[in-house]
Structure 1
Amino acid sequence: MNYQSTRSRTGKATSAQAISQGLCGDGGLFVPEQFPAVGEEELALMENESYRQRAARILSRYLTDFTVEEVRECVELAYRPDRFPEGPAPVFQLDQNVSYLELWHGPTCAFKDMALQILPLLLTRSLKKIRSDREALILVATSGDTGKAALEGFQDVEGTRILVFYPKDGVSPMQERQMRTQSGGNVFVCAVEGNFDDTQTGVKRIFGDAEMRELLAKKGMMFSSANSINWGRLLPQIVYYFSAYCDLCAGHSVQRGAPVNFIVPTGNFGDILAAYYAKKMGLPVHKLICASNANNVLTEFLTMGKYNRNREFYTTISPSMDILVSSNLERLLYDLTDQNDEKVADWMRRLNETGEYQVDEAVLSKIRELFYAGFCSDDETREEIKSLFANQNYLCDPHTGVAARVYEKYLRDTGDSKTPAVIVSTASPYKFAPEVLRALEDHAPAGDEFQAVSRLSQLTATRVPAPIAALESKTVRFSSSCKKEEMGAAVLKILDSESV
């Protein structure tokens, strides 16, 4: 299996090269040349497999320059029981027709663990495969969850350093504390005075800086990424859609071969793109429902075909979705244009230069057939959190609350109540305890986030996840911040650091 850029045909890469490099030299994203098919017979076999077995099966189809044993070893190490004590991706059956795919039972209590526990293993092996003796400097832009999951995954991994940038006032207090207390001699954290799009744009600019890359090379280092622009980050996310479907079939909630709907809260479009790729491989999916908050740039695009980031940016109670430039949309467009790299490159150029572009009617027609898109306000999200707990005793975080509310809008708009629905639950409610508590009690809670955690546990009779409970006593290690124009200088400090 080879990989190519979404923006040109200038050379192909193996999976090891794509994972090591992260971003294509032309600024495009690596995509596989084809998608392996998974038929009904193979789905039947997967019903009786564990998550780790399913993951090894799917990943091996894409990582063809890895041996089966190497893939299996990575999977076993990444998803071992001490890191996922309740299983990597359990499905909670809410009622006869609605389930929640809970992706937050890992070490950082967010869905990013599903990919970022295995990416360091894939990356270090990839570097050996391409015979690179250079150290990898992992740059990460985060809107909240990716940062902590990446720091946790790469902590003290030999041959790597990792620097996470996050928007100073654009993450929850718990997300910020998780990052600022991270242990490890090779990890670094820096707040950016700006929003996530400023942060993400800054990281992309650094990746594209030839002078910076040359400086890295002189120091025996190379850039790589842990964001979902890296194929090694996106690929593991395909697995949990197959796993959820197989679990539902095994539990007789879904008849094998019958389609389901996946409802995905998304900002950077990576999580829902993984569901689209699973559908391309043969997973029976009826509709992909894209759920957004007030930053509804994706809703407009998926319904009207116009992408326009020139709009007001909102800081919401679902901060991981506070994004106006959805990087992974580029991969979808490449596929829907039948791999027309010139057209995709032109749209991305327009986005960079003017902040907007419009796809043609042929592409828009395909999008509308595949996707439903909706958004909701913070007030609606709070109402959904309260309603879910009051009526069905299910406690969810604000991102999952957005997905649940948008699914209700989908039902009203389409009347499609018969297709089984899987709502993707992306984070533990305890990562956003003050906002969840406010939703349940109709007023802002008193005290700090840890008092909110304690109150939420008492009120709902639910257990505080161990990683959250342990945070209160951890020492803050990182407090630096920079302007968005100074991100390159922050990287230079890391290059000179001996704290590895």
Structure 2
Amino acid sequence: METLYRSTRETASRTMTSSQAVLQGLTPDGGLFVPVNLPTAHFDFDQLATMSYQEVAYEVLKLFFTDYTEAELKACIQAAYGTQFDDPAIAPVTKHGKQYYLELFHGPTIAFKDLALQILPQLMTTAAKKNQLASEVVILTATSGDTGKAAMAGFADVPQTRIIVFYPKDGVSAIQKQQMITQAGENTYVVAINGNFDEAQTKVKELLNDPDLHAKLAASQFQFSSANSINIGRLFPQVAYYVYAYAQLIKQGQIKNGDEVNFSVPTGNFGDILAGYYAKQLGTPIHKLICASNRNNVLTDFFNTGVYNKNRDFYLTSSPSMDILVSSNLERLIFYLTGEDPVQTASLMADLKTTGQYSLSPAMRQAIKDFWAGFVTEGQDQYEIHHLYARHHYTIDPHTAVASAVAKQYQAATKDQRPMVVVSTASPYKFPQAVLTAITGEDVTVDGLAAVDQLHDLIKTPIPATVENLRDAPVRHNKVTETAGMGSTIKQILNLN
């Protein structure tokens, strides 16, 4: 059965195929693409337990990308998940203490975004051919640290594409920044903004639907798309690793087919945990999806009160990829909570834009029982890193520590003894200063590669190749702009009149 896509904000009368939605990224009305009907899966998890990551990914993605042929989809998957990952399992599940850790940092940029952004260019270039697209695709993306590098690594020198990444100048780690500003590729452009991620993301969404800019792009044979998780080609590949993780627990003899498990997910823009929600809808035996936040706990308050309110202080933390107050992917969940009512969804999103907040109805609050939410302070985050290293000699990054600590909050509050899988989203070498400070209990003043070397001396695990390569990589990108100037910067990069 074909899976077609519609907007969260308008009636289902206008639909697109999956390849068309991948190319477009964002719907014309500012909403997000969702399946007209959620696909139906008939997973045999005992069989999935014998499969490779690539094979599991195909079983999942064929449900969402139905206008790709089997050969096309398998080619995309094989190109995405190969030797660029340093573990043949791609997304191994390990156990430390009483919790399981789904390690999503074995890709070329050592962050979970690789699991989606290695395949998105494959899906997009295949879609361009399927739809006889003559224009050059311009990928426009805002990043809170990891998406930018992972997207550029995926799209670097891909024919008929350019990628422009905006990041908050003072809102990423030293290693994240160095990875971005040294990115090679004649079609890659990186721009720092004097602002935070929310401001960059809001402006990117505005520009993606700017009719005057679209006209200028079309006149020069360009077309916008996005690599943020608003794009279904980025979102749905993430569903695969939830299904794979569950199958791996069966393979390891940790659970039996049908046993329920919980996933704790460090959450900012809501794309990663939303992928878990889709995995549950497809029949993966997930009991609770635990939404773990740092000090920017807008999502924790949302799930616990039914009110989403971005009118609050914004904090820079040691887990910068979660320093977000406007969680774009939450709109898709809101759409389902309204009973797939695009009018009500559009109204709530309008409230967020005009007043900075919206409230769920009592019926909608009843429908979010799949989720549990909590947050941690900076001190609790550091303690979790310190505790895991001291007790189990296992080193985690600050984002993983948020999820690990909130998982324990959930267990203490509910007494739920189901197996807990913590989604581990980045290598500790991506945030060496914060990890060193947490493990040693001392105020570490060095950062960047100097901190990487100190961390390596302490934990002894190999330094990833992507970090080693930074030692000799020249700086290629040094543009800085105000948020209001992002549109002008794009025109300058693309030589638009």
Q: Which string of whole-angstrom CA distances, capped at 9 and with x for unpartnered residues, describes residues 398-451 of structure 1?
A: 0000111111111111111x2001000000000000110011111222434211
Cα distance, 1:315–1:82 mapped onto 2, change above 3 Å: closer
1:359 aligns to what?
A: 360
Map of 1:126-165 to 2, 5 A cutoff?
126-165=127-166
SS at match of 1:23: coil
* One-letter amino acid of the structure 2 residue matched with residue 89 of structure 1: A
SS at match of 1:163: strand
2:276 aligns to what?
A: 275
Would you say the 8 A contact 2:277–2:289 is kept in 1?
yes
1:18 aligns to what?
A: 21
1:407 aligns to what?
A: 407
User: What is the CA distance between 1:471 and its match in structure 2?
Assistant: 0.9
1:485 aligns to what?
A: 484
Distance 1:128 1:485 in 2: 35
Would you say the 8 A contact 2:433–2:446 is kept in 1?
no
2:385 aligns to what?
A: 385
Would you say the 8 A contact 1:113–1:149 is kept in 2?
yes
User: Is 1:30 matched up with 2:45?
Assistant: no
**Aligned structure 1 segments of 4 or more residues deviating by more than 4 angstroms:** none
1:2 aligns to what?
A: 4
Would you say the 8 A contact 2:291–2:374 is kept in 1?
yes
User: What is the CA distance between 1:479 and its match in structure 2?
Assistant: 0.9
Q: 76-85 or 14-23: which moved more?
A: 76-85
Gaps of 5+ in 1: none
Q: Which string of whole-angstrom CA distances, capped at 9 and with x for unpartnered residues, describes residues 119-177 of structure 1?
A: 00000111122221110000010000000000100000000000000001010010000
Q: Aligned pairs, how many? A: 493
Distance 1:304 1:54 in 2: 37
Would you say the 8 A contact 1:23–1:230 is kept in 2?
yes
Would you say the 8 A contact 2:94–2:101 is kept in 1?
yes
Would you say the 8 A contact 1:295–1:314 is kept in 2?
yes
1:422 aligns to what?
A: 421
Match of 2:52 among 47, 50, 55: 50
User: What is the CA distance between 1:243 and its match in structure 2?
Assistant: 0.3
2:92 aligns to what?
A: 90
Would you say the 8 A contact 1:87–1:105 is kept in 2?
no
Match of 1:80 among 73, 79, 82: 82
- Identity in percent: 48
RMSD: 1.1
Q: Which string of whole-angstrom CA distances, capped at 9 and with x for unpartnered residues, describes residues 245-292 of structure 1?
A: 000001110111010000000100000000000000000000000000
User: Is 1:494 matched up with 2:496?
Assistant: no
SS at match of 1:476: coil
2:440 aligns to what?
A: 441
SS at match of 1:254: coil
Distance 1:286 1:56 in 2: 24
2:196 aligns to what?
A: 195
Q: Which string of whole-angstrom CA distances, capped at 9 and with x for unpartnered residues, describes residues 441-490 of structure 1?
A: 11222434211111111111221111111112111111110001000011
Q: Which string of whole-angstrom CA distances, capped at 9 and with x for unpartnered residues, describes residues 187-244 of structure 1?
A: 0000010010011011011112100000000000100000000010001000000000
Distance 1:152 1:353 in 2: 36
Would you say the 8 A contact 2:432–2:447 is kept in 1?
no
Would you say the 8 A contact 1:135–1:222 is kept in 2?
yes
TM-score of the aligned structures, taking structure 1 as reference length:
0.97
1:183 aligns to what?
A: 184
Distance 1:310 1:155 in 2: 37
* One-letter amino acid of the structure 1 residue matched with residue 284 of structure 2: L
Gaps of 5+ in 2: none
User: What is the CA distance between 1:84 and its match in structure 2?
Assistant: 4.0
SS at match of 1:34: coil
Distance 1:203 1:141 in 2: 7
SS at match of 1:215: helix
Distance 1:35 1:246 in 2: 22
* One-letter amino acid of the structure 1 residue matched with residue 72 of structure 2: E
* One-letter amino acid of the structure 2 residue matched with residue 333 of structure 1: I
* One-letter amino acid of the structure 2 residue matched with residue 384 of structure 1: E
Distance 2:448 2:220 in 1: 42
2:72 aligns to what?
A: 70
SS at match of 1:111: coil
Distance 1:496 1:32 in 2: 36
Map of 1:177-326 to 2, 5 A cutoff?
177-326=178-327
Q: 445-454 or 52-61: which moved more?
A: 445-454
User: What is the CA distance between 1:82 and its match in structure 2?
Assistant: 3.6
Would you say the 8 A contact 1:86–1:105 is kept in 2?
no
Would you say the 8 A contact 1:81–1:87 is kept in 2?
no
User: What is the CA distance between 1:36 and its match in structure 2?
Assistant: 2.5
Would you say the 8 A contact 1:404–1:423 is kept in 2?
yes
* One-letter amino acid of the structure 2 residue matched with residue 424 of structure 1: V
User: What is the CA distance between 1:86 and its match in structure 2?
Assistant: 4.3
